[in-house]
Amino acid sequence: MQRYGARRLAAQTPMAINKWTGFNDSLSFPPHSHHENGDHQLFCDLLEACKLSQDIRTATETHTRIIRFGYGTNSSIAASLISTYVNCNQLNLAYQVIRQVFSWTVSLAGLNLVIDSFMRIGEYEIAKKVFCKMPDRDVVTWNSMIGGYVRNGKFEEALRSFQAMLSSNVEPDKFTFASVITACARLGALNHAQWLHDLMVQKRIEVNFILSSALIDMYSKCGRIETAKEVFESVERNDVSVWNSLINGLAVHGLALDAMMVFSKMEAENVLPDSLTFLGILKACSHCGLVKEGRKYFDLMENYYSIKPQLEHYGAMVDLLGRAGLLDEAYAMITAMPMEPDVIVWRILLSACRTHRNTELGEVAVANISGPKSGDYVLLSNIYCSQNRWDNAQEVREMMKEEGVRKRRGKSWFEWEDVVHRFRAGDKSHPETEALYKILEGLIQRTKLEGFVPSTELVMMDVSEEEKEENLYHHSEKLALAYGILKTSPGTEIRIYKNLRICYDCHNWIKMVSGLLSRVIIIRDRIRFHRFEGGSCSCGDYW
């Protein structure tokens, strides 16, 4: 039964259980009879319906019948039961099923299914408990754990699991490497990435288009776009995903002209672009302010390649126009879209309004965001501050307090000797805090002597100028940079990764630091890469 069938069944689960259990309670099929395949699937379908409707009463009734009919030791039914109980927030019942599973002689494949079931619904801690109790593990077991960690954003856990897998003498396969490559890409862990690539070569893993695309994406996101290009040139390029990975990589590095050249080469080699290709090329144009070129590709997509623009393509165009200061045109595109704009589109417009200090459209954008988050309020407050509308900014801050909305804290990380060091704004928990703060204070004094003036209008607090400066100087990327300077020798490139968009103050400060120290400093924020060198940035202050 397909998922839509389960959804239909979900609307009538109490009635359905009596209907299809027409083989009534007096009947009891042995667990290995010829009925097993069909009947156990019926149980799985009904449990899926219970999960979708969160009907715990019918789920427990179904559980009783499962045991009565002799299917209690069926691994796929056990996985469905666990998944249903977790989804219905009945973790005690889920744990009971897990304990029962380990009291049976359940196949390895069945336990792998249980792990995968928990990972898919985000219960990775429970999956880990099942994993730890397993007497035997095969490559599928490890892949379920590693892939599940990646899906749930636990990238460091995925890398640790991969290391443990190697220590257990289970050989990884192409699926293992695909997951671990993704983890490296998301972390920006270059040392891990290079080691992983070497290991693939050593183990003679066949590189298909999925792995080729993943490797290109990994090196791009680790700040090595030249290596990404080398991988691209060395692999087969018959599949569009390989081209898309490079185009997207070039886009986040602000190399729009290179991305357009790759697109032209793609056409010359008769590889048809898809919707993701155009999304990448539009993003590349957006990062570099190439409005004319962006419009050309947007038209080309539908009029020449018959690819209907989706919501994300319109969002990319709104971003392109908004960054370029064409706010009225960006707003007109939103109102003329053939589909309902989502909160992401409105946030893109709001961000552009912050950049270009357009209060009126900024208020329109916020009004269209259902349940504004901290970032939305911060942007609106910053717009008011830039216009010296302090009362309005204060109103936004009061609104945040009333609604219990807290400003999202910035996080940055820096990889050193195969360890990822994490920093939060104002963080003093690092073991080498005293030394890194000493470095930071020295840099602050040097930049002040060079004439650097902090952008205190960005601080949404009613405090003195000195306190505002203190707040700005302790942003997470500044702490990560100080630690990078502490640990590396002069002349070494420093790579930092950040969960949010880099603020104007940090951007301008790091530009000055790169010139003072003659250092290359590379920062990957939520939007793109910034390469600081000689007092300037690769983005040209356009991001």
How is residue 50 written in tokens?
Answer: 């219970």
Q: In terms of residue numbers, what domain contains 446?
A: 411-537
Rounded to whole angstroms, what are the CA distances from 155 to 23, 108, 182, 198, 328?
48, 25, 8, 20, 41
In the predicted model, what is the mean pLDDT of residues 270-278? Answer: 97
pLDDT > 70: what percent of the chain?
A: 87
User: What average pLDDT does range 410-432 have in this prediction?
Assistant: 90
Question: Which of 277, 288, 226 is closest to 252 using CA atoms?
Answer: 288
Report pTM: 0.79
Distance, CA of 400 to chain centre: 26
User: Average pLDDT over the chain, rounded to whole?
Assistant: 85
* C-alpha to C-alpha distance for 503 and 378, rounded to whole angstroms: 12
Cα–Cα–Cα angle for 84, 88, 93, nearest 5°? 70
pLDDT value at residue 125: 87
Q: How confident is the model at residue 21 (pLDDT cuts 50, 70, 90)?
A: very low
> Is the pLDDT assigned to residue 246 strictly greater than 60?
yes
The reported pLDDT for the residue numbered 361 is 92
Q: Which of 131, 134, 198, 133 is nearest to 160 (CA)?
A: 131
Task: Give the Cα separation of 284 and 248 in Å (integer).
Answer: 8
Answer whether residue 122 is part of any domain.
no
**pLDDT at res. 36:** 46
pLDDT value of position 133 = 83
Q: Would you say residue 316 lies in a domain?
A: no
Res 385 pLDDT > 90: no
205-230 in b/e form (b: 16+ CB < 10 A) is bebebbbbbbbbbbbbbbbbbebbbe
Question: Is pLDDT at 142 greater than 80 in this prediction?
Answer: yes
pLDDT tens for 472-511 read: 788 999 999 999 999 999 989 999 999 988 988 899 999 9
Range among 285-289, 357-361, 371-375 with highest mean pLDDT value: 285-289
Evaluate if residue 185 carries a pLDDT over 70.
yes
Number of domains in the chain: 1
* pLDDT score of 410: 83
Residue with tokens 């590349």: 284
pLDDT at 414: 92
Q: Mean of the pLDDT values across residues 154-170?
A: 94
- Structural domain contains residue 478: yes
Residue 524 lies in a domain: yes
Q: How far apart are CA 506 and CA 348, in angstroms?
A: 21
Residue pair 527/498 in contact by the 8 Å Cβ criterion: no
- Residue 130 counted as domain residue: no
Answer whether residue 427 is part of any domain. yes
pLDDT for res 106: 61
Phi, psi of 176 (to 5 degrees): -60, -50
pLDDT for position 3 = 44
pLDDT on residue 33: 39
pLDDT recorded at residue 402 = 72
Q: pLDDT band for position 113 (50/70/90)? A: confident
Handedness of CA 48, 53, 56, 59 (dihedral sign): negative
* Side chain identity, residue 282: L
Residue 480 lies in a domain: yes
Summarised one tens digit per residue, pLDDT across range 454-464 is 776 655 555 45
Residues 6+ apart with CB under 8 A from 506: 472, 475, 477, 478
Q: How big is the CA angle at 223 (ends 218 and 227), to the nearest 5 degrees? A: 65
Rounded percentage of the chain residues whose pLDDT exceeds 90? 54
Domain assignment present for 68: no
Is pLDDT at 29 greater than 90 in this prediction? no
- Whole-number pLDDT of residue 460: 52
Lowest mean pLDDT among 150-164, 391-405, 484-498: 391-405
Least confident of 40-49, 172-181, 205-214: 40-49
